[in-house]
Structure 1
Amino acid sequence: MIFDPRLCELGEGPLWHPIREQMFWFDINNQKLLSQDRDGPREWRFPEIVSAAGWVSDDVLLIAGERDLFLFDLETEEVETLCLLEQDKPKNRPNDGRADPNGGFWIGTMAKDEAIGAGAIYRYYRGELRKLFSGISIPNAICFPPGGGFAHYADTVTQKVMKVRLDAEGWPNGTPEVFLDLASEGHYPDGAVIDANGVMWLAQWGASRVAAYDTQGNFLRAIGVDAPQTTCPAFAGPQLSALVVTSARKNLDAAALQAAPLSGATFVIEGASRGQYEHQVIIG
């Protein structure tokens, strides 16, 4: 089912704001933040690439941009830089990101031309931006099980989703381990979210689906989407029972677009499971 018919070149970063009861997501290549609420569709265009967000308050989002993490007031459209992000790497951009249970915000970066190993994964927490993992090509699948304790992330080109233990403040504490290895199936992990039962819902680039895996990494089921390049899921709605999935048109030729004309739309899957509320980002 279509949640929003606007076609994104590279849809990403869906976020359900639990106070506003409003859905947000990004079209990375077109430098847009999009939204859908009771009043209909909205969008904001930025002078740089934007890719992911967390909610700070009723009206303010933390947004990851090319040069910084910044605060964006949805009502006044005022922008305030929170901290700089890879200002020494103008060929990079942000990609997948999500708030963690401690109120931190994780964000991955990558080369605009997808150069191998050019990116990293960072965490902003109470005024500090710290690099967590380097040598990342396409950061994705940043998500957190209920209760904290662990984080997941992926470098899409490796076809693996990782799991790393966290300390009491939410910083990685230990060596990351492989949670999913999809190489034998030929799947590439993109964005992911974890539901209230600890099940991971993982978009798989090029597979026209979102797949569910239990806490041990066992495959449970997959739900098809009418777009080959699914990018990221997020739970939405007052009961968090709707799974919203972004997608992309990027790099699809005319034949592929004719076969999948809804590529780039944002989809919704009703009743797949019940999600967790997205965590609030704590600024200071």
Structure 2
Amino acid sequence: MASIHPFKGSVLSSTLCELGEGASFEAETNTLWWCNILGKEIYSLELSSGTQSAFSLPVMASVVARIDSGRQLIASDKGLFIRNRATGELTPHGEIEPGRDGNRSNDGRMHASGSLWIGTMGRTAADGAGAIYHVARGVVTKLFDTVSIPNSICFSPDAATAYFVDTRANKMMTVAVDPATGLPSGKPTLFIDGSADAGGIDGSICDADGHIWNARWGEAALDHYSADGSFIQRYQLPAKRTTCPAFIDNGRIAVTSAWEGLDEASRTADPMAGATFVLDVGAKAKYDPAYLP
């Protein structure tokens, strides 16, 4: 039976995001970035100094990725943008789903090729309204259609395997990809069947050994799976709606969370919903690469 570990981490940020998501670590600046999708904000936490900053946006961002010291890629409900770090100015970089105003972006992750995989979903999570796309130098290619809640996009250490899930179905899929481009080179197959388990398979990352770490929505947990999909252990967290993990310095894992959909009584019972936490799980870190515009 898999081990269950009580929470022995700490609160990395006590800012309560309605929908904290899109956690990514920028090793070059020792900074964790994450999004408050519904609040139209992105946050940064410089780990050396402990300085947290908040940046308001005119869009619902779900991914913020490094380009270089002066620029970032933003994926949002209004498409793709290049963000000027110094001024905050957003320059359009491409549309994801032109004319589909009823959708927004959701989970996404950078591939070692410098491309982005980004998922979309209906603003009210309508069945099959979303899809998963590949973005390379502004060129957007649809990969998988009729997705309700795209999540768990991550890649193996050799960049030859991708993972993703429709959280509504709770079946994590795996597919071979070209390490040079990040484009699929095969058909998706079932990797983890969580359809009979409580909670939702939300955001995931791969570590340097090819293991998968998944934030389990509704279960206040970070779950650890082996490279063959076997469930190894669960780390408990102090907020039920855990959303997205990211490796930070020294191989620790940061995990965002959300209070979206909770009424007043539920928020009172779950006072840390929306905070960002950190755990030391002893895994070998694999950091997100930069986007090549």
Common topology (TM > 0.5): yes
Residues in 2 aligned to 1:228 and 1:15: alpha-carbon distance in whole angstroms: 21
Letter in 2 for 1:215: A
Asked if 1:20 is matched to 2:29, the reply is yes
Q: Say whether residues 1:179 and 2:191 are aligned partners.
A: yes
- Is 2:152 aligned against 1:141? yes
Give the unaligned 5+ runs of structure 1. Answer: none
**CA offset at residue 274 of structure 1?**
2.4
Partners in 2 of 1:7 and 1:82 — Cα distance? 30
Tell me, yes or no, if structure 1 residue 257 matches structure 2 residue 267.
yes
Residue deviations 1:167-205, cap 9 Å, x none?
Answer: 242211111001100122233110000111111000111
Q: Aligned match of 1:94 in 96, 102, 105?
A: 105
Give the match's secondary structure for 1:47.
Answer: coil
Q: CA RMSD in A?
A: 1.2
| TM-score of the pair, normalised by structure 2 | 0.93
How much has 1:126 moved relative to structure 2?
2.8
- Assess, with a 3 A threshold, how the Cα gap between structure 1 residues 127 and 10 changes in structure 2: closer, same or farther: closer
C-alpha deviation, 1:271, in angstroms:
3.8
- Give, in whole Å, the separation in 1 of the partners of 2:246 and 2:138: 26
* Partner residue in 2 for 1:210: 222
Question: Which residue number corresponds to residue 246 of structure 1?
Answer: 256
Query: Equivalents in 2 of 1:57, 1:278: separation in Å?
Result: 13
Q: In the alignment, what sits opposite 2:288?
A: 278
What is the number of equivalent residue pairs in this alignment? 281
The residue type paired with residue 209 of structure 2 is N
Cα distance, 1:39 vs structure 2:
5.7
- 4+ residue runs over 6 A deviation: none
Identity %: 36
Write the mapping of 1:186-197 to structure 2, written as runs, cut at 5 A: 186-197=198-209
Give the residue type in structure 1 aligned to 2:62. S
Say if 1:243 and 1:272, in contact at 8 Å, map to a contact too: no
Asked if 1:150 is matched to 2:133, the reply is no
Q: 1:58-97: CA deviations, max 9, x gaps?
A: 2311010112211112222122111112121001100001
